[in-house]
Structure 1
Amino acid sequence: MLLLLILLVLFSPLAIDIYLPAIPLMAESLGAPLLSMQATITGFLFSMGLGQLLAGPLADRYGRRPVALWGMFIYGLSALLAAHAGSLEALMAARILQGLGACATSVAAFSVVRDSYGPSKSGQMISYLNGAICFIPALAPLLGGWLTTRFHWEANFWFMAGYAALVGGWLWWRMPETRPTETHSEGALIAWARYRPVIGDPRFVFNASLCMLAMAVILAYVTAAPVQLMVTLGLDMAGFSHWFTANAVLNILACFMAPRLIGRFGPRRTLRAGLLVISLSALLLSLLQGMATPLAMMGPVFISSIGFAMVLGSAAGLALAPFGHCAGTASALLGLLQMSGAGALVGLSGVLVATPLQQLELHMWLLLPPLLLLLTRRGRRLCALN
C-alpha cells in the first residue's frame, strides 16, 4: 500500500521540479518573458487545487481507484500537449489541464491514507509520503537538466507522459479500492451541503490554513530559486541543480524524522515546533538580505525545510482526523487550500513585493501569527484529534 501511495503522490512534484532547469531555455524558445514562464508553475498549482473540488466528491462516490486512473490519463495526455506547445499560451493551457490530472492522483492518495490508517496514524503516514515526495526535488532537476541538455526542453514532458503510462498500467493491475461502505456520496457532486460540515469545522480551517501557508513558503522558494540563483547570481544549470538537490535531501531527512516526532510528542507539539523553526528561518533571511551569495537564500531555506516537514505532516493529519466518513471531500478541500490557496498567495505577493527574496521572506513571516495562537487555550483546542 505504501508503494502505491508513493507512486500516486509523485505526479505533482514531478510536474513542477523536472523542468525547472529548462525554464530560461523554454522562455527563449517560446519567445516569452522569463517571469511569465514562472506562471506555468503557479497556474499548474492553482488548477490542481481548484480541480479537487470535483475530484474529492468523485472519489467518495465512485471510489479512489477510478479517480486515480483517470487522473493519470489526463496527466499523461496534457504532458504530450505541453511537449508540442509552440507558444506560452499553449503551454499554459496544457499545464492547467495537467494540474487537473495531478489533483485526482493527490486526492486519491490522501483519501486512501485516511481510509487505511485512521485519524491517529494519518499524520505519520502523510509525513512519510512527504519524505517520498522530496526525492523528486532531489533527483528531478538533475534528470531535467540532463534531458534538456541531451534532447531539448520538450523531453521533460515526454518523460512525464511515460511515467503516467507506466504507473497507470501498474496501478490498474495492483491498486485496491479502499472507499469505506459508509462513505457519504449522495447528492450533487459540487454542492455547499457536501462541503459545509468540513469547512465549518474550526479544526479543519485552522490546520488546513497552516498547510496552505507552509506550502506557500515552498512555492515562493521554487518560483524564486531559478531567478535568484541562475539569473541574479549567475549560477549555471549544474550549480542550480546542486543547491536545489541539497535542500531536497535535507527535506527528505526531515520528512522521515517528522513521523517519529509526531509519534513521540504528539501532533500539536510537533506543529508548534515546526512553526517556530520557520519563524527563525524568516528572521535569518531578513538578516542576510544584503549578501549576494547563494547561501544567503539557501541557508534559511535549509532551516525552513525542517520546519515545513514538521508542520505539513502534523497539520494535514489534524485537518483530516474528524472526517473518516467523507475523506475524499475533506482531502479535496485540504488540497484546494494547500495548492490553490498557496498559489493565489504567492501570485498576490509577487505583485506586491519587489524581489524574490523579499517574497520568500514575507511568506516565512506569515507562519508567526499561527504560532502565537497555538500558545493560547483556543489554539490547543484547534489541534485536538477528537
Structure 2
Amino acid sequence: MRLRNPLPLFMMMVLFSPLAIDIFLPAIPQMAEALSVPVAWVQQSLPMFMLAFGAGQLVAGPLADRYGRRPVALVGTLLYVATSAMAALATDYSMLMLSRLGQGFAACALSVAAFAGVRDYFGAERSKPMFSYLNGVICIVPAAAPLLGGLLTHWWGWASNFWFMAGYGALVSLLLWLMLPETRPAETRSEGRLLSLSRYMSVVSVPTFRFYAVLAMLGMAMIIGYVSQSPTRLMVELGLDAQSYAIWFGCNALVNIIAAFTAPKMVGIVGQKRSLWLGVMLMAAAGVAEYSLRGSMQPLAFMGPVFVASIAFSFLIAICAGSALAPFGDRAGTASALLGLFQMTGAAIVVGVFGASGLTAVEQLSLMMALPLVWVLVCRLTRGREMMRPVSAQA
C-alpha cells in the first residue's frame, strides 16, 4: 500500500533530528551522574550529533540520487533505532558519544530523503510551501519534546528518552516500508563516482542555489543563535527560573508553528519577491529593536523582537528551500544535502564565529538578525538581480 500524497510521511521523517536534540535535555544532569562525567561533557553530545548530521549530508545526498529516496530513508530509520538503543544502554561516556554520532548520520539520511522527496513529488513551484510546512512540523518538537523528556526522565530515568526515540524510529520504519513510494525521477543522474567534487560543484555553481542557500543559512543562524543565547540572557542576566524560561521558549516555538503554516499563503498573496524583502526587512527591524532594548530587564524586551524575527524566518524558509532546489529535478538528493549542509553546518559556524567575538548575547543576536538583509543588498548591488531571479526549473 502506497500513499497518494506522501507529505505526512515526509513530515514524520524530518522529526528525527529535532527529537534527538530536544527530548533528552531535561535528563542531562541525570545522565552525567549515571556516567560519572561532568555535565559539560554530556552537553557535548549535542555538537557531536550536529557534526554527524552536517557531514553526513555529503554522503546521503548522492546515495539518495543513485539508489533512491526510499532505501536511504529505510536504512536511516533502522540506524536510528539501533543507535538510540545503544545510547539507552550506554554504560560509559564513549559509548554514548558513539551512539550520538550514529544518530546524527541516521537523522541526516531521513532529512535528505524527505526534502528530496518533497522536491520530486510536488515539483519546483508546489514544493515551496511544502518546505514551510515541514519547518512548521519541526518547530513542534522544541515546544513539546522537553516537557515529554522531563516526564520520561522523572518516571523511568534518563534512558527512557532514548528508548522513546528507538520506538518512534521503529514505528516510522514500519510506516515507510508499507506506505512510502519511491519518488526519484527516472532521469536522475547517478553515473560516475558516488562522491566527487564535480557532483557538488554542479549544484553550488548555480547562482540561484548560492543565493537562496546562503540566505537560508543566515536565517537559520539567527534561530540557532537565539537558542544558544537565550539561556544566558533570560536565566543568567534576567534571573528567570527554568520553568519561566521554558514558557518563553515554548511561546516562541508556538509563534514559529503558526508563522510556518501561514507564511506560504501570504507568499502566494503578496508574491515571492515582495515576501522576500518583507522577510529580510522584518528580521533586520527586529535586530534594531533587540539592540535598542538591550538595557531593559524585562523578558518581553528580549523575546518580543525574537517573535518578530521568527515570523520573518518563516517567510524566508517558505521561499528559500524551494527556490534553491528548483533547478535540480535530476539531482534533488545532492542539492537537498548541500542545502542542509549550508543550513545546519554553515549556520553553526556563523554562530560559533559570533560566539568567539566577545560581543554580548544581545549584540550577537542583533547582528545575526541583520545579516539576511545585508546578504540580499550585497547580492543586489553585484549580481543580485540575476541570482534572485528564478531559473528555469526542472519539473
TM-score in terms of structure 1 length? 0.92
Q: How many residues of Structure 1 are paired with residues of Structure 2 in the alignment?
A: 386
Q: 1:350 to 1:377 in 2, by over 3 A?
A: closer
SS in 2 for 1:382: helix
SS in 2 for 1:324: coil
Q: Quick check: 1:145–1:237 contact (8 Å CA) kept in 2?
A: no
Q: Which residue of 2 aligns with 1:352?
A: 357
Measured after TM superposition, the shift of residue 52 of structure 1 is 0.9
Q: Quick check: 1:120–1:385 contact (8 Å CA) kept in 2?
A: no
After TM superposition, list the pairs within 5 Å mapping 1:313-352 onto structure 2.
313-352=318-357
Q: Structure 2: state its 5+ residue gaps.
A: 1-5
Measured after TM superposition, the shift of residue 75 of structure 1 is 1.8
Letter in 1 for 2:75: W
Q: 1:75 to 1:231 in 2, by over 3 A?
A: farther
Measured after TM superposition, the shift of residue 214 of structure 1 is 1.1
Q: Which residue of 1 aligns with 2:189?
A: 184
Q: Which residue of 1 aligns with 2:106?
A: 101
User: Are 1:17 and 2:16 an aligned pair?
Assistant: no
User: Are 1:369 and 2:374 an aligned pair?
Assistant: yes
Measured after TM superposition, the shift of residue 91 of structure 1 is 3.4
SS in 2 for 1:367: helix
Q: 1:57 aligns with which of 55, 62, 66?
A: 62
Letter in 1 for 2:355: G
**Mean alpha-carbon deviation: is it higher for 30-39 or for 63-72?**
30-39
Q: Which residue of 1 aligns with 2:3?
A: none
After TM superposition, list the pairs within 5 Å mapping 1:1-386 onto structure 2.
1-26=6-31, 30=35, 37-86=42-91, 89-373=94-378, 376=381, 378-386=383-391
Measured after TM superposition, the shift of residue 27 of structure 1 is 5.0
Q: Quick check: 1:119–1:385 contact (8 Å CA) kept in 2?
A: no
Q: 1:377 to 1:199 in 2, by over 3 A?
A: closer
For 1:308 and 1:111, the matched residues in 2 are separated by 21
For 1:32 and 1:227, the matched residues in 2 are separated by 23
Q: Structure 1: state its 5+ residue gaps.
A: none
Q: 1:92 to 1:6 in 2, by over 3 A?
A: same
For 1:67 and 1:108, the matched residues in 2 are separated by 7
For 1:156 and 1:267, the matched residues in 2 are separated by 41
Q: 1:37 to 1:366 in 2, by over 3 A?
A: farther
Q: 1:233 to 1:38 in 2, by over 3 A?
A: farther
Q: 1:304 to 1:31 in 2, by over 3 A?
A: farther
SS in 1 for 2:297: coil
Q: Quick check: 1:217–1:363 contact (8 Å CA) kept in 2?
A: yes
Cα offsets for 1:38-70 (capped at 9, x unmatched):
443333223212101110110011110010011
Measured after TM superposition, the shift of residue 217 of structure 1 is 1.3
For 2:358 and 2:45, the matched residues in 1 are separated by 20
Q: 1:5 to 1:255 in 2, by over 3 A?
A: same
**Mean alpha-carbon deviation: is it higher for 145-154 or for 371-380?**
371-380
**Mean alpha-carbon deviation: is it higher for 35-44 or for 169-178?**
35-44
For 1:20 and 1:382, the matched residues in 2 are separated by 40
Q: Quick check: 1:278–1:307 contact (8 Å CA) kept in 2?
A: yes
Q: Quick check: 2:7–2:118 contact (8 Å CA) kept in 1?
A: no
For 1:197 and 1:119, the matched residues in 2 are separated by 18
SS in 1 for 2:383: helix
For 1:237 and 1:155, the matched residues in 2 are separated by 22
For 1:112 and 1:331, the matched residues in 2 are separated by 10
Q: Quick check: 2:291–2:362 contact (8 Å CA) kept in 1?
A: no
Cα offsets for 1:327-379 (capped at 9, x unmatched):
11111111111111112222332223354444333322322312324655832
Letter in 2 for 1:18: I
SS in 1 for 2:388: coil
Q: Quick check: 1:258–1:309 contact (8 Å CA) kept in 2?
A: yes
Cα offsets for 1:292-346 (capped at 9, x unmatched):
3432332221111101111112111111011111111111111111111112222
Q: Quick check: 1:13–1:136 contact (8 Å CA) kept in 2?
A: yes
For 2:34 and 2:369, the matched residues in 1 are separated by 34
Letter in 1 for 2:292: L
For 1:129 and 1:4, the matched residues in 2 are separated by 11
Measured after TM superposition, the shift of residue 248 of structure 1 is 0.9
Measured after TM superposition, the shift of residue 37 of structure 1 is 4.8
For 2:152 and 2:235, the matched residues in 1 are separated by 18
**Mean alpha-carbon deviation: is it higher for 229-238 or for 346-355?**
229-238
Cα offsets for 1:6-33 (capped at 9, x unmatched):
1111111111222334445545655655
Letter in 2 for 1:61: R
Letter in 1 for 2:295: G
Q: Quick check: 1:123–1:318 contact (8 Å CA) kept in 2?
A: yes
